[in-house]
Amino acid sequence: MLVEVCFLVSPEGTVLWSDRGTRGALPDSADRWRAIWHHRDELAVIAHTHPGGLLAFSPEDRTTMAAIDAALGRALRYAVVTDRAVLYRDPDGSLSVAADEPAWVAHLRAASAAEHNGEVAHGDSQHHVPGTLG
């Protein structure tokens, strides 16, 4: 995994929305909040990756989860996905490691492994060297 990716997932396991952060962070985004609100009636799980492999909810994750639950008026299920495992936090606050990983987990890992939008960049930055001005 290279970058943190966030998925909003329906009860049926459909990925409703996704976005990407950077190697070490998934910054708060107004677009993500809008997507959460837009999909609030069909939203079951909010999952994000930890490319560093930490199978735990960070203090920032807990703050964000509390804010989302407060905004929606109900507690969602949350998931942290690493290369090796999936950690859930259920609406009652209990933590569990997934025994059976749903299909979207593989998609989330693949998205997280890619440098940009599902494709790994190959030295593409050389094509974008700014020219001299004027």
Structure tokens given for 38? 């837009």
Interface segment toward Zn ion; rule CB under 5 A; list 15-23, 56-64, 92-100, 105-113 = 56-64
Minimum distance from residue 9 beta carbon to Zn ion (Å): 16
Residue 112, CA distances (Å) to 30, 94, 134 in order: 21, 26, 39
Minimum distance from residue 54 beta carbon to Zn ion (Å): 8
Interface segment toward Zn ion; rule CB under 5 A; list 15-23, 34-42, 59-67, 113-121 = 59-67
101 is a site residue for Zn ion (CB under 5 A): no
Q: Nearer Cβ to Zn ion, position 56 or 71?
A: 56
Interface segment toward Zn ion; rule CB under 5 A; list 53-61, 82-90, 100-108, 121-129 = 53-61
Phi, psi of 8 (to 5 degrees): -100, 125
Q: Nearer Cβ to Zn ion, position 67 or 121?
A: 67
Structure tokens given for 129? 């060297």
Q: What is the distance between the alpha carbons of residues 3 and 22, in angstroms, rounded to a whole number?
A: 5
One of 44, 55, 61, 75 touching Zn ion (CB under 5 A): 61
Size of the site for Zn ion (CB under 5 A): 2
Strands (E), the chain: 5-9, 15-20, 45-49, 77-81, 86-89, 95-97
Q: What is the distance between the alpha carbons of residues 69 and 128, in angstroms, rounded to a whole number?
A: 42
Give the binding site for Zn ion (CB under 5 A): 58, 61
